Amino acid sequence: MMARSNILNLSEFMQGLIKRNPGEKEFHQAVEEVAASVIPFINERPQYIENQILERMTEPNRTIIFRVCWEDDRGNIRINRGYRVQFNNAIGPYKGGLRFHPSVNLSILKFLGFEQTFKNSLTTLPMGSGKGGSDFNPKGKSEREIMRFCQAFMTELSKYIGEHLDIPAGDIGVGVREISFMFGQYKRLKNEFTGTLTGKALEFGGSLIRKEATGYGCAYFTEEMLGHQGDSIEGKTCLVSGSGNVAQFTAQKLIHLGGKVITLSDSSGFIHDPDGLNNEKLEYIIDLKTNRRGRISEFAEKFKCKFYKDKKPWSVKGDLAFPCATQNEIELSDAKQLIKNGCKALSEGANMPTTHDAIDALNKAKIIFAPGKAANAGGVSVSGLEMTQNSIRLAWQREELEQRLKNIMHDIHQQCINYGTEKDHIDYVKGANLAGFVKVAKAMLAYGVI
């Protein structure tokens, strides 16, 4: 006989989760959003309740925390904390990025790993979920310091990952430079050449379009949502936050699709360029942030536009909003500004950039809202395609990869429609959560009690 067969209640479920994971507020936030969609669904499908699928899905399979010791340029010994949260491998090996940022802690990595479960399920590719990183701050470090840190980090991480086990990639503070240092160290330690990291440089197994994929995917997803309503990005004014990998290529594709991108930001403030970015300005940003690691205010000086110190771009009037920096960067007050200014849609390039109360306000105002697990899934999708290319020892052409990325974003949109169609609108949060959930849940049910 089954040990349990009753109805789940959201607030009781959350009380239990909070008790088991005290103080992890970002993790609580990410779980609550999913549980609010999933609980009404599984209450009508007893096999999920009896088998405690949601309880199992909210407990990582394995969490690894380790010391990272390295030497700075002056010979001082430095100590950071490294993590890998291997969240769920029901539908494929653990897969997800590494974040290097001083704010990194277990709560943030658990929220990211948890969301990755649903995102990776939506991609249609066979990938489980994971996330990792360190509280290491790359800002102001020399190339050699970055290299020594990455090597020390990988020396420990290498014991827990592998091409069939866990395949990390980049996230905040981890781009092709860091992936290269880590891949070099992994290859040296393991004495093998396998595609155990994605986001590699093209010369050693990287994929075309990977660097562009998250941003391009986010723009494609937005085009799908607007297209579903008979509208498009063409002629729309776009607010983008961040100026790193995701922001850069979201902006680039929005411009290709006829949008006018008038803002970008970093952790020191935002720039407002009413004329809109063009290719020349974007090249400058990519060089500034990726190669020279400068501040966004330098853009304002160079192109004579306004820089707003310590402010976010959400008070500027625009049709479409693309938060592409970090979690909780759109709070209720920001959402109210967007609503007041006639914003039509918001698409999350970042992971969980919008708070719950802000999402509620946007929904009430009938603003189309695309959650990150759908809108930013293009990055991990092309990571999945990089894994495929590494396995078959081939490199596909740009056109083929771009078409596959487009198809995947279209499929994700279709899954959101299948599970999120309401009387008078599409609930993309519900659609993404349920579609992502069902595939993983079915696999977990099939395995029995594991």
Catalytic residues: 131
Nearer to ligand 2IT, 338 or 374 (CB): 374
Give the C-alpha separation, 128 to 333, whole Å: 36
Q: How far is the CB of 180 from ligand 2IT (least distance, A)?
A: 15
173 binds, among ligand NDP, ligand 2IT, none (CB under 5 to 8 A by kind): ligand NDP
Nearer to ligand NDP, 49 or 435 (CB): 435
CB atoms within 10 A of CB 64: 18
Give the C-alpha separation, 444 to 87, whole Å: 13
**Binding piece for ligand 2IT, criterion CB under 6 A, among 184-192, 258-266, 320-328, 378-386:** 378-386
Q: Which of 58, 196, 207, 351 binds ligand NDP (CB under 6 A)?
A: 351
Q: Which of 251, 350, 385, 435 binds ligand NDP (CB under 6 A)?
A: 350
95 binds, among ligand NDP, ligand 2IT, none (CB under 5 to 8 A by kind): ligand 2IT
267 binds, among ligand NDP, ligand 2IT, none (CB under 5 to 8 A by kind): ligand NDP
170 binds ligand NDP (CB under 6 A): yes
Q: How far is the CB of 229 from ligand NDP (least distance, A)?
A: 25
Give the C-alpha separation, 187 to 163, whole Å: 12
Give the C-alpha separation, 386 to 381, whole Å: 9
State both tokens at 130. Answer: 């994971």
Say which residue the tokens 């479409």 belong to: 320
Residues 109-168 that bind ligand 2IT (CB under 6 A): 119
Residues 337-366 that bind ligand 2IT (CB under 6 A): 351
Select from 316, 177, 348 the least CA-distant residue to 246: 348
37 binds ligand 2IT (CB under 6 A): no
Q: Is 94 exposed, middle or buried (0-12, 13-18, 19+ CB in 10 A)?
A: buried
Residues 255-274 that bind ligand NDP (CB under 6 A): 266-268
**Binding piece for ligand NDP, criterion CB under 6 A, among 32-40, 68-76, 239-247, 299-307:** 239-247
**Binding piece for ligand NDP, criterion CB under 6 A, among 33-41, 336-344, 347-355, 420-428:** 347-355
Q: Are strands 345-347 and 320-322 parallel, antiparallel or unpaired?
A: parallel
171 binds ligand NDP (CB under 6 A): yes
Q: Which of 171, 212, 273, 402 binds ligand 2IT (CB under 6 A)?
A: 171
Exposure string over 346-356, b if 16+ CB within 10 A, otherwise e: bbbbbbbbbbe
- Total interface residues for ligand NDP by CB under 6 A: 23
DSSP string, 215-279: HHHHHHHHHHHHHHTT--STT-EEEE---SHHHHHHHHHHHHTT-EEEEEEETTEEEE-TT---H
Query: CB–CB of 416/377 below 8 Å?
Result: no
129 binds ligand NDP (CB under 6 A): no
179 binds ligand 2IT (CB under 6 A): no
Give the C-alpha separation, 106 to 87, whole Å: 12
Residue 404's φ and ψ, nearest 5 degrees, are: -65, -40
Q: Which of 82, 133, 173, 259 binds ligand NDP (CB under 6 A)?
A: 173
State both tokens at 350. Answer: 């970042």
Nearer to ligand NDP, 436 or 444 (CB): 436
379 binds ligand 2IT (CB under 6 A): yes
223 binds, among ligand 2IT, ligand NDP, none (CB under 5 to 8 A by kind): none
84 binds ligand 2IT (CB under 6 A): no
Exposure string over 138-169, b if 16+ CB within 10 A, otherwise e: beebeeebbbbbbbbbbbebbebbbbeebbbb
Residues contributing to the site for ligand 2IT (CB under 6 A): 95-97, 119, 169, 171, 198, 351, 379-380, 383
Residues contributing to the site for ligand NDP (CB under 6 A): 103, 170-173, 214, 242-247, 266-268, 324-326, 349-351, 376, 379
